[in-house]
Structure 1
């Protein structure tokens, strides 16, 4: 992410950024330090508190608030850059996944960038319990539900929402504390107004 920011944005740029699913605030800290007008959102109050404490400890500013990817508390086309790492695949169904991508499209400005990573279905754990006949929505043995798409399906859903793949970092297999996961990292750019 740092390489992308350095090659596309000048520090102290005054542009608006959203850290979607901010967790403990690692990306929020980076975005605020880089000069973005920052909003950080998460559904978990404990994570929001960690992000707020982290920003304050570094003397950085940001608006930290509760919010869901399915109904973000922001005006249309507000953000020039959105960071969404480990968020979208937490959808409970294909329909919820598409709704989340649609909401992401709503709040991203024309020509805005979305830096993200998602878990894909390139690694499949036999312990997954499928929730629907698509076999994409699953419950893991740890309990959280998620929807695992192929990279190609995800890119198509993003294209349908007027996002074009700009940087493809590929799919890496990572050992998480919950087991092996395939992680797709990429940057998408929302089409400019009037683009077709």
Structure 2
């Protein structure tokens, strides 16, 4: 299976144990995405600030900064707050683990031993959501660019009217300025204009 590089996403795998990282890479390899490793919460935060991730697979039990604290720090940052986090717990995890995880913004939990099919399915769902969000953002930018082009053209027309104006053109100029104000108002945040 060949994936278009433009469709590839990055997945951050965080675990302090090398053998777990290798196992996650083996399970997620068939998804053909970029897999990035971190062996501590601190390394994970540095990775999150350096590049965009579609999803984070985060072990709960780690020395120094555990998975809960790492997840809380990820969710505090504007740049990373919307990245879904799947917390990985051992079988000894209590009911409070789920409560704590969801309270800090984790999107899901998975328990060791990992079922490879379940993990790939969960990760694939988040990858699809990430791709769709990117497409929506691109469409919004394109729409804004089109509207800004339209405004630029209208400004050019107004400039020409101003340069060549006579008394009779004053009403037409006022109408065009009014149209321009409404168009610009539609681009401003909080505008309720329908498109």
Q: Same fold (TM over 0.5)?
A: no
Q: Based on CA coordinates, which of the two structures has the bigger radius of gyration? A: 2
Q: TM-score range by the shorter chain?
A: 0.3 to 0.5
Q: Which has the higher helix share?
A: 2
Q: Which has the higher strand share?
A: 1
TM-score by length of 1: 0.34
